[in-house]
Amino acid sequence: MSPESEALLLDCDTDERSGSHHQRRSRSPNGTYHRHRHKLLFGALVLLSVITYLVSINVFQLPPFGEIMVVVPQNPFTTEQSQAVDQSTIESPSSTETSPPDTSIVSPDEIPESSPTTPDNYESSTSQPVQHSTEGNAISTTLEKTESNQITTPTQITSPAPTNAPTPEESKEVATTPEPSDDETDMGELAETESTEEESYSSDFLTRGSNVTHPACKIPKLDPFHSSIRNISSEKYSPAKCRKKFSLMFEIHIGNESSTLTQLKSSEKTGWKDCCYKLVFRDPKKSDDDSEIFSKKCYPIRKKRLVIPPTHEFITIFCNSTTNSSIRETMVDAFALAPLKPLVEERLEKVLNFSNVHNTSKVVATEQINLVVLGLDAVSHMNFQRIMPKVHKYLIEQLSAYWLDGYTKIGDNTYPNLLAMLTAQTVNETEASCSKEKYYDDCPFIWKLFAKQGYRTAYGEDSTWMGIFAYLKNGFKQAPTDYYLRPISRMAEKHIKADKRGNPHICYGPRLSFEFLLNHMKSLASTMGQKKRYFQLIWATSLTHDYVNLGRMGEKPLLNFIQWMEKEGHLNNTAFLLTSDHGIRWGPMRSTAQGKVEENMPLFYILLPEWFRRKYASAVTNLLDNRARLTTPFDVHETFLDLLDLSSIGDDNLKKRTKELAALDAAKKLSRGISLFLPIPESRTCKVAEIAEHWCVCHSTKVVQVSDGEVQQAANYVVFALNSFVSKYPKCAYLALHSVQYALLVIPASVAKKSSHQKTFELSFRTAPGNATFDATVVRNKKNQWSVSGVISRTNLYGNQSFCVDSTDMKKYCYCLT
C-alpha cells in the first residue's frame, strides 16, 4: 500500500508498511527506576479497585466510598518523560469546530467512526474503527419508584483539564481564526479538549410523548434544537479548500449512452498543459483489495469536449506544468463512470434465460425495483435535521419520505451495524462463519442475493483507508460487486487528496469526495435507465465521521442529487434509503446528555415510488406505523429481502405473515429481525431485538450523585473488569479510577422489571494513567453481584497511547508503558 494511503490517524498507530515509525517516549538515565515507581503507584490504585469490588460483594466491610479519598498519584514520569508522553499522544483541539472535536479512534464504523473512543473510519488503509461484539442481552433492572418518564441527565460532562492542552502559540492561532471552523489542523496530532466548566443537569431535553410510546419501550422524543446543545450545533466551519490546491479544469457530462469530458479552462489560466487520462483497474493478477494500477497508455485530451469510450470506467487526468518543465504527468483530477460491462450483462442474460426456460417466478421475480442505499457515517436522526434541514424538508414535504423515530444501533461503530444490515449477522457470527483471515468474500452479503435475481450490484466508499471492511481488515480478495469504487477512490486518496479534517481528507482534487460519490451514483442511474435493475450501496464518511457540523458542506450536493433523481424519473423505479450507522461518538456533542442518546439513534429515511405505495398499501401502512416502534439494522435487512421479492408483501402473503408474527409474539419467540413492512410488535424490547442494554433507548434514567456509594462501587467494578483484559497484555499499564463524570440510574420501561431487585447504572468515568474516558452500563443483581452489560465504550481519543498493541479491541483500553 502507498504510504500516502496509510497516514497516521488519531486513533490508529502506523504500521510498518507506511514507512513511518512510532514516536517513542524518551527515557531519562534513571528511567528504569521511574518505570518501577509507575508500576508500584498504579499497582496500589489497582489494589484499591480490587478491594472496592470485594467490598461490593460483601467479602469484607470498609467505610462508605464517600468517606474514602481515592488519591490519584502525580505523574510518575520525570519532566522529560512527561513531555515525551504528551508528544506521543494526541493533543487537544479547540472545543469548537475550529479545531474539530476529537475524532480519534474509538472502538467503525468503522476509528473512533468514531467517537473519542475509536474511529469508524480512518486515513490509512490499515486503520479502521475498533470493532466490538454487538451481542448481549439487555439486563432487567429494578427501581422501587419512578417520578417521571423523563431522562434527567447532565447536559455536559465535567472533565478535568486535559493533560496535553494546546501551547500558547496554538491557542493564539485558534484565537485569531476569523470564525469557528474546521481548519486544516492535523487531528492525527491532536487530542480532545474537554470542558472544564461546571456541568449542569437538565431534565427537559428529552420527553417520551405518547406518540412514541408503547408498553415495552418508551422511545425518546428529542428536540434537535434544544438549548442544551445550541452552542455546539451552531458552531461554524471554514469552507472546503479543494480548489485552493486543485483548479477545477474538467467536468464530466453523463449521458445514457456515453459521457463527455469537458475542459473548462485553458492551460494559460490553470498552469497545466498537455493533459491526458489514464484508466485505473484492480490488478487482475492479485487477490488483494489494495492492488489498483494505472493503464500504461495515457489517452490525450486534445479537444475541449472529448467523448469517453463506453468501456472506460475509472479515469484519472494527468498534466504537465506550463511553468516548470520538471513537473510532468501530475495527477490533477479523477472521475468514476459506470458503463455497461459485457461480462456482467452476459451473466444476467443467463439468469433471465434460465428463469424464462423454467417459467417460474421463484428464480427471478417478475416485478422488481432498484434499491439504492446512501449512508452518511455517524449522523443521528436529530443531527441530520440540524446539518441538512433543506434535504430533510424536501424529503418529507416534496417526496413523502418515511422515517423511523425508534431506529437504534445494535453495536458500537460502523462495522457491527453494517454487518447486521448487509448480512443479518453479528460480528461474532461473521467471524465464526465467513471472515477467515479477515477476508469477507464468503460472507452472505445482501448484494449477492440481488445478483442472483438479475441485478447489477455496486458498492463504494470514500476515506477508504478506514473502510467498513478495510480498517485493520483485509477486505475482499475479489471485487465484491459488479461496480466497485475502491480502486479509483484509493488512487484519488493517494494522489489528489486535500483538506484534511480530522481523520479524513474531504477533497478528491477540486471537489468534495462526497460529490465524487454522488456523481458515480448519477452515472450508474443514467446507465441503468428505467429498465435495467441494480442494487447500490454508497457509504460516505469524510464529511460526517469526525465532526458534528461539517456535514453541512454536503447539504447542497445531496439536495441537488435527490432533485436530479426525481427530475430524471429515477425515483419512479427505485427504493432510495438514506441512513446512518449511529450518531457522533465523541467530541463536545457526545459529552452532552442529548448527544449520548443521539449516538444510539441514527438517521433513517426511505423513499418509495407512488405506484409502490398504492399497490402495497398495507405494507406501507405498517411502515408508517413502525415509525414509533423499536427498530434496528436487522429489520432493515429483512426489509431488503422483501424489496427483492415484492410478492412477499402482496396482500395475501402479508396477511399470512402478519398472523405468523402475532403467533410468534404471543409465544415470545420473535426473531431479532422483522421486516419494516410488517407490524413491529409493541411488546418488542431491546432484549428481544438483541440490542445490548448499553445501547438501549427504551428506558428512562434518573441522575445519581457521583459520590454515591453504589456509584463508586460500580465504577470501581468496571475498572476491575477493564484490568482483567489489560492484564493479558504486559506492555499495557493497569488502570485506576480517576473520577466519575456522571451517573444515571436506569428506570426500566417494564413494570415487571421495576419489581425486581436489580439496579442498572449508566456511568461515565475517567481512568489513570492516560486520562481516558469511558461509558459503561453496570448491573447489580439481587445477590449484590456486579456485571457489565455490553461493551465498555471509550469516549475520547487515545492517539498513540496504545501503539504497543495490534488488537483492535484493546487499542481503546491499553495505555502503553514503554
Q: Does the pLDDT of residue 135 top 70, yes or no?
A: no
Q: How many other C-beta atoms can be found within 10 angstroms of the C-beta atom of residue 175?
A: 9
Least confident range of 143-152, 323-332, 414-423: 143-152
Evaluate whether 113 touches 106 at the Cβ level (below 8 Å).
yes
Helices (H), 476-592: 486-495, 513-528, 555-567
Phi, psi of 439 (to 5 degrees): -100, 150
Residue 93: is the preceding peptide bond cis (ω within 30°)? no
Q: Annotate 504-517 with DSSP letters as a single string.
A: SEEEETTEEHHHHH
Higher pLDDT, 233 or 200: 233
pLDDT value at residue 11? 34
- Torsion of Cα atoms, 691 then 692 then 697 then 700, to 10°: 140
The residues, ordered by sequence, that sit 6+ positions from 296 with a Cβ below 8 Å of its Cβ are: none
pLDDT band at 387 (very low <50, low <70, confident <90, very high): very high
For residue 817, give the H/E element and its range: none
- Coil, strand or helix: which one is 737? strand
Q: Give the cell for residue 666.
A: 404471543
Rounded Cα distance between 95 and 91, Å, is 12
pLDDT value at residue 235? 87
Task: Find, among 753, 696, 786, the residue nearest to 408 by Cα.
Answer: 696
Q: How many other C-beta atoms can be found within 10 angstroms of the C-beta atom of residue 309?
A: 11
- Coil, strand or helix: which one is 793? strand
Please give the distance of CA 493 from its chain centroid, rounded to a whole number.
19
Q: Write down the CATH number for the domain with range 9-239+342-818.
A: 3.40.720.10
**pTM (predicted TM-score):** 0.76
The string over 224-257, giving b where at least 16 C-beta atoms fall within 10 Å of a residue's C-beta and e elsewhere, is bebebbeebbebebbebbbeeebbebbebebeee
pLDDT value at residue 753? 54
From residue 674, give the alpha-carbon distance in Å to each of 270, 421, 510. Answer: 55, 12, 43
Work out whether strand 534-540 and strand 456-461 pair parallel, antiparallel, or are unpaired.
parallel
Q: Classify residue 74 by burial, with Cβ atoms within 10 Å: 0-12, 13-18, 19+.
A: exposed
Q: Does the pLDDT of residue 629 top 70, yes or no?
A: yes
**Using the 8-state DSSP alphabet, how is residue 57 labeled?**
T
pLDDT value at residue 218? 87
Average of per-residue pLDDT across 158-167? 32
pLDDT band at 251 (very low <50, low <70, confident <90, very high): very high
Evaluate whether 370 touches 534 at the Cβ level (below 8 Å).
yes
**Using the 8-state DSSP alphabet, how is residue 753 labeled?**
H
Helices (H), 331-445: 342-358, 381-387, 389-393, 414-423, 427-433
- Coil, strand or helix: which one is 261? strand
509: left (phi over 0), alpha (psi -120 to 50) or beta: left
Q: Does the pLDDT of residue 612 top 90, yes or no?
A: yes
Rounded Cα distance between 740 and 767, Å, is 9
**Using the 8-state DSSP alphabet, how is residue 210 labeled?**
G
Q: Give the percent of the chain with pLDDT over 70.
A: 71
From residue 422, give the alpha-carbon distance in Å to each of 431, 446, 537, 703. Answer: 15, 5, 10, 38
- Coil, strand or helix: which one is 395? helix
> What is the residue whose three cell numbers read 450508474?
524
Q: Output the CA angle 229-233-238, nearest 5 degrees.
A: 150
pLDDT digits (tens, 9 = 90+) for 757-770: 789 999 999 999 99
- Torsion of Cα atoms, 467 then 449 then 134 then 630, to 10°: 110
Least confident range of 140-144, 598-602, 797-801, 808-812: 140-144
pLDDT band at 532 (very low <50, low <70, confident <90, very high): very high
pLDDT value at residue 667? 96
pLDDT value at residue 159? 31
Q: Considering Cα of 242, then 246, then 249, then 253, what sign does the dihedral take?
A: negative
Number of residues that this document lists for the chain: 818
Q: Does the pLDDT of residue 787 top 50, yes or no?
A: yes
Evaluate whether 593 touches 155 at the Cβ level (below 8 Å).
yes
Domain ranges for the chain, please list them: 9-239+342-818, 242-336
Rounded Cα distance between 818 and 731, Å, is 7
Q: Write down the CATH number for the domain with range 242-336.
A: 2.60.40
pLDDT band at 442 (very low <50, low <70, confident <90, very high): very high
Rounded Cα distance between 777 and 695, Å, is 9
Q: Considering Cα of 613, then 616, then 620, then 621, what sign does the dihedral take?
A: positive
Higher pLDDT, 21 or 530: 530
Q: Give the cell for residue 755.
A: 419489581
pLDDT digits (tens, 9 = 90+) for 649-689: 999 999 999 999 999 999 999 999 999 999 999 999 999 99
